[in-house]
Amino acid sequence: MHTKAFNPENSAVLLIDHQIGTMGWTHSHDINLVKQNAIKLAKIAAALNLPVILTSSMEENVQGPLIPELEEILPEAFAARIKRPGIVNAMHHDGFNHAVKVLERKKLFVAGVTTEICVTFPVLQMLDEGYEVQVSADASASYTKYGDELALARMRAAGAIITTVDQIISELAIDWTSPNGQISGYTKLPLDPTGQFGYRKTLCPNLSKILR
């Protein structure tokens, strides 16, 4: 048994600055896929009752609000989101720092925009403070592919696990025959507003309902 695994009872999800304006500045990945993966993380967290902290930076300015899907999926977390006035490292913001600490969970899934700024610096501090961190690389993005790769390498060297949304799903499922891991088939999800679609595996009946 993998005793150090992240599971719904010992982990939490932190989504940093998935804002409409900020996401539009990135060029390291297909931003529609990044958005869809961030939404998928939010839905998984909601279905499995993982604690979630949302944060934004200067959302009244060109960075804009968080993507509206986060409010639909996580209304309580959205209402309680930490609105930073421009602090780069979210862990330097008293409200965000306190919100992370009161979770009393030392295993954190983190994703955000941009990887090289808004994700890297808080992750480095979390690692310094003794947290175990998994960074979802495919739910994050940077201004350039080069900058994104360097940021991921820096976090990995500091002790972060660089992962993907599908790896996170598999780790949380633990056993596909368990309630959390039962496959309910493939769910058709829009990948972007143009009407492209992809098929996604879903976890457990509860998650299946959310993803439909």
Distance of alpha carbon 11 from the chain centroid: 12
Among 44, 70, 111, 118, the one annotated catalytic = 118
- CA–CA gap between residue 199 and residue 75 (Å, rounded): 26
Examine the residue annotation and report whether 118 is marked as an active-site residue of this protein. yes
- CA–CA gap between residue 46 and residue 37 (Å, rounded): 14
- CA–CA gap between residue 121 and residue 151 (Å, rounded): 9
> Is 187 within 8 Å of 20 (Cβ atoms)?
no
Give the chain's end-to-end CA distance (angstroms, integer). 32
- DSSP state for residue 74 in the 8-state scheme: -
Catalytic residue positions? Answer: 118
